[in-house]
Amino acid sequence: MAEVLVVVEASAAAGVKKVTLEMLTIARTLGSVSAVVIGDAAALTDKLAEYGAEKIYVASGDDVESYLVAPKATVVADLVRRVQPAAVLLASTQEGKEIAGRLAVKLDNGLLTDAVEVAADGTATQVVFAGSTIVKSKVTRGLPIVTIRPNSVTPAAAPATPTVEQVTVEVGEKDKLAKVVERVAEQKGSRPELTEASIVVSGGRGVGNADNFKLVEELADLLGGAVGASRAAVDSGYYPHQFQVGQTGKTVSPQLYLALGISGAIQHRAGMQTSKTIVAVNKDAEAPIFELADFGVVGDLFKIVPQAAEEIRKRK
């Protein structure tokens, strides 16, 4: 069986990201799973093994870690040329897409982004145009290079005993043009990553100011969820931009999406429309968010949210 390369996304704080486990789960249906770790792999191998990696390629060192993305694409391209995999899966994140884009050019190969499903023959399913349209696409030149959107499939464990291979990194000067001089971690507490969370609680302009976002955070924490925000809330300075949900922010697809004081503009819906269950609180009974809410409460969020928080505490 041909290998399928899964380019691992991990974070220093949380280890292997959930999207990586999803990719491993999909990859098993396409071939023999090989995980590609760029960076330090020691803390990751157990998890990768648990989810079915038969092989782990590790590329580490200053050459790949001190420069922006280009060297990583070179490492993956070299691997592709060497092992001739059946497919390459990457995460639909800023970095995953950057590697994919460069890889496609290096190999003169097609690519598909934001897939939620990949069939055994490489056909990818994508949800486009603000969640309104589903397309099935295929790479017609070269092997399938596909980026997977987080929260697309349920990760399933399938323990394997991987062999680990250290790959030699040979990156040229052209890959070292953009240097990372500093990495700054911003406080975000213990909340799950927005795109990977199974529950997202978002606040909009209706939340009124930055201080009031504590209400949104409190409810999110009680539910074990992540916090999101509409663009109006971000633009008004209530909450940082990396938490924006929608057309020009993050796309989320959690089990539960709670919209507080959000009108439900089409560009916001673009980022949350595929959530399994949607709950909305808005004082305007005509707000478009109610058109897609499975459960909606018309009323003042400043009364409803504290009461809901109290009720959850009672039930715990």
Strand partners, 145: 88
Cβ atoms 280, 289 nearer than 8 A: yes
Specify whether the CB–CB gap between 25 and 117 falls below 8 A: no
Please give the Cα distance from 157 to 28 (Å, whole number).
11
Q: How far apart are the first and last CA of the chain?
A: 49
Q: Which of 2, 42, 43, 105 binds another protein (CB under 8 A)?
A: 105
Do the bridges between strand 145-148 and strand 87-91 make them parallel or antiparallel, or are there none, so unpaired? parallel
Whole-angstrom Cα distance, residue 220 to residue 158?
31
Coil, strand or helix: which one is 162? coil
Is 301 a residue that touches ligand FAD (CB under 6 A)?
yes
Among 5, 233, 258, 278, binds ligand FAD (CB under 6 A): 233
Among positions 247-266, residues that touch ligand FAD (CB under 6 A) are 247-249, 261-263, 265
Residue 232 interface partner, choices ligand FAD, another protein, none, CB cut-off 5-8 Å depending on type: ligand FAD
- Span near another protein by CB under 8 A; candidates 21-29, 49-57, 79-87, 137-145: 137-145
Interacting partner of 255 out of ligand FAD, another protein, none (Cβ under 5 to 8 A depending on kind) = another protein
Least CB distance to ligand FAD at residue 22 (A): 23
Residues 195-254 that bind another protein (CB under 8 A): 199, 223, 241-242, 247-248
Binding to ligand FAD by CB under 6 A, coded x per residue (else -) over 179-208, reads: -------------------------xxx--
Q: Is residue 119 part of the contact set for another protein (CB under 8 A)?
A: no
Structure-token pair, residue 21? 């486990």
Stretch that binds another protein, among 31-39, 57-65, 151-159, 176-184 (CB under 8 A): 176-184
Q: Restricting to residues 143-182, which ones interact with ligand FAD according to CB under 6 A?
A: none
Q: 182: how many CB neighbours lie within 10 A of its CB? A: 4
Task: Provide the 3-class DSSP secondary structure of residue 279.
Answer: strand
Nearest CA to 253 out of 82, 125, 141, 119 is that of 125
For ligand FAD, the binding residues (CB under 6 A) are 204-206, 230-233, 244-249, 261-263, 265, 267-268, 271, 281-284, 287, 300-302
